[in-house]
Structure formats: C-alpha cells, structure tokens
Chains A and B, each alone.
Chain A
C-alpha cells in the first residue's frame, strides 16, 4: 500500500512494528512502532505518558516526511 501511494509522488511514512517486513516490502521512510497490537501506544503507561509516546512517534514521522531520502531509511 505504501508503494502504490508513493508511486503517485505523495511521500509516505510507514509506522510499523516489524521493520524488516517494511524494508522487504519496500517502504522508503520507516518509523518503528511500539508493538503489533498497539503500534502507537503502550497500555502499561498512564494515559498522559502514553500520549507522549504517541506524540514522539508522530513527531519522528513528520521529521521523516521532511527529510529528503535517496533510499530506504529507518528513522529510529
């Protein structure tokens, strides 16, 4: 899906937990997520801290979208 969208020229950042799959499939901008059932959250934290985690992943993703890349890049 990432590739079909990016093919049209729209940059896509892929937030996913299993980075090797994203790399194999061919996403160009990848941001690692927390866990498969809650990629952008952590139920072990209280609501405030959980939202901080989510915000930091989104900030990382926006940074990825503003970074020119030539090849597949993982934004850790």
Chain B
C-alpha cells in the first residue's frame, strides 16, 4: 500500500487527559497527534490507516453550544482532509454520546465521509443518531474500551476500503432499511418462514417487532381490605365535554379527574374521547371502560380498603410510546405520593 488512510479522532476533555467535570466547559481545540484511546485504534489499524489529528471538546461546552461547537469541531476535522472520523466511544456518558452522535452525523452529511462511534444501548445519543452514524454497541463504562476498539477499528477499515458492511456481520446498530432484490417473491418467503416455524426450525423474520424492556412485577397485595386502589385507563374516559381536550388520537396529554362521592359513571356525565374504537358502548355506559360502579361497590362492601380519589385517563390511539411513558411516569409519581397500593389499568 502506498499511502495510509487518514482518520481524525473526536474525544472529550476526559479522554484527552485534561480533566473531568470541572473541565467539561472547554472549547474545541485540535492537535495533529494521537491522544488517549486513539493509541489503541492506531494499534489495530496497523499499516492500513493512521490517526492524523485529534479534535477535543468539553462535553458541557458541546451540549450548551450545539451549533457553534459542532461547526468548530467540523472545521477542525475538515482541516485534516480525512477519509473517515472516529468519535469516542462514549459508552453510557450521555452528553459525550450526544456530542459523538452529532459530530458523526455532521461528518457524514457535510463532509461525505463515513463516521463511526460507539455507545451503550441506553445512551440517549444512540436513539438520537443511530439512523445517521455507524454506532457500535459497547459496555456502559470505559472498562469496555478493550472490547470496543477492535470492533470500531475493523468496521472503520472496511468502510475506508469501501467494502460492504452490515449490522449483523460488523456489529453496529441498525441504521435504516436497505433495499435489495430478493430472489423469491414475498408470499414464497413468508410461506417458507411459516413452514420453518411449524417445524420448530430457526428462521429470520424480515420485519422484527420493536423490543420492549420488561419490568419486574410489583409485589402482590397481602391485604386487599386495607389497600388503596386507583383506576387508570387508556380508553379515553373523560367528563362530558372533554374539558382537557384530550386528542382522539396521538394524545399529547392525560387527565386527572376527581371521583370522590361519585358511585358510577353515566351517559350524561362522562364519555370517551378515544377515536380508535366505536364509542357508542362506552358513551352509553362509561363503566364498561372505567369500572367505577363495581369498584365503588366493593369499596363499600369492604372488599378493598379504598378507591383513590382520582382516576387518570388518556387516549391510547396511535399515541407514541414516548408520550405514554411520560404520562405514566407523572401519574405514577402522583399515585405514589398519594399512597396508592395498586392500580387497575383498563385498555380498549
């Protein structure tokens, strides 16, 4: 090989050996040398590529001055005329991840060269930039450096040599759909998969479902007659007239409604705001979705300790997971503060 590929490395103040949080506000600067984790990358690159410069920026500075910091960093990177950029890896450092992701995205979009970084799966930078950059999964802390470096370096080398890469073969987070011409039509492929499934054989779906992270079950209630129970619904039950204007789909809010002294819901006083199912039955008798009548009865019978003073309601119709999580986190906080022991959540 006549000449090595040129790589620029982006790191934060910590990996540059300048300092920790107290130095997180330093402005971008660059040195035409290999610093910190760059040494490990250089070892894997061997004769094929070299780090020609390192660009450093404090994590707080970058995140507080997003546009100007990104521009300065990109200008420094550009000055080396590189073939590829490596950022981080950032592990689970949130601000560093955001910076690495933003730098990698800008490099790919503005300089038209590939950029590779590494992050832990929960780094907020991952969700934000996984469609834009090549992001390799790492451990949550710098203890994972030794494992992350070879994966990032090998992916970088393949990209430099313009070899074909894939998330499965080269271990990076799926970026976006890739179009390809399959040999067999969809119906044939679907039936083949079904037959494999029936035979109990392995098959790879072409449409993986999103992954949901499960939570540990809450502890069982030991004495119902002392428990305070709250009602929550995604079925859109609201006081007549929908005073909070909860949207019939893609809800952006939830409601909290006082039911003290109310024994059951009626057609005249409550309705559903939900636009994703036929509202006739719920409007006729809202207890069909939010079972206040029965739960109130059981409270009076002493079967449960008490029914919480408020019920919470939103519309689960095309509502984003992010919104639903946000609503429920707020609701949960209120329920905890009010000493609620258990929740009955109804969905339509």
Contact = CB atoms under 8 A, between A and B. Distances in A.
A42 B310 CA distance: 26
B289 A2 contact: no
Interface string B203-221: 0000001001111111111
How many A residues touch the partner, as a band?
35 or more
A74 interface: no
A41 to B, nearest CB: 3
Contact of B346 (A16, A66, A71, A72): A16
B336 A10 contact: yes
A9 B218 contact: yes
B279 A37 contact: yes
A10 B224 contact: no
Contacts of B298: 58, 62
A4 interface: yes
A45 to B, nearest CB: 11
Given A10-B336, A25-B212, A57-B291, A36 B348 contact: yes
B184 to A, nearest CB: 28
Contacts of B217: 6, 11, 28-29, 68-71
Contacts of B346: 14-16, 33, 39-40
B281 A37 contact: yes
A40 B335 contact: no
B223 to A, nearest CB: 9
Contacts of B218: 6, 9-12, 28
Contacts of A13: 342-345
B345 A5 contact: yes
Interface in B300-348: 303-304, 314, 316, 324-325, 327-329, 331-333, 335-336, 340-348
Contacts of A5: 232, 328, 331-332, 335, 343, 345
A69 B335 contact: no
A30 to B, nearest CB: 10
B293 interface: yes
B234 interface: yes
A43 B336 contact: no
Given A10-B218, A26-B215, A36 B342 contact: no
A71 B278 CA distance: 33
A53 B222 CA distance: 25
Contacts of A62: 224, 298, 303-304
A48 interface: no
Interface in A16-38: 16-17, 22, 24-26, 28-29, 33, 36-38
A6 B342 CA distance: 9
A39 B235 contact: yes
Interface string B78-113: 000000000000000000000000000000000000
A51 B294 contact: yes
Given A40-B287, A58-B295, A24 B209 contact: yes
23 contacts: A1-B232, A1-B234, A1-B345, A4-B325, A5-B345, A8-B332, A10-B332, A10-B336, A11-B342, A16-B347, A28-B214, A28-B215, A37-B282, A37-B348, A38-B281, A39-B288, A54-B287, A54-B291, A58-B294, A58-B295, A58-B298, A65-B344, A71-B217
Interface of A: 1-17, 22, 24-26, 28-29, 33, 36-41, 43, 50-51, 54-55, 57-58, 61-62, 65-72
Given A16-B348, A40-B287, 5 more contacts: A4-B331, A6-B217, A10-B336, A38-B288, A51-B294
Interface of B: 209, 212-222, 224, 227, 229, 232, 234-235, 277-282, 284-285, 287-289, 291, 293-295, 297-298, 303-304, 314, 316, 324-325, 327-329, 331-333, 335-336, 340-348
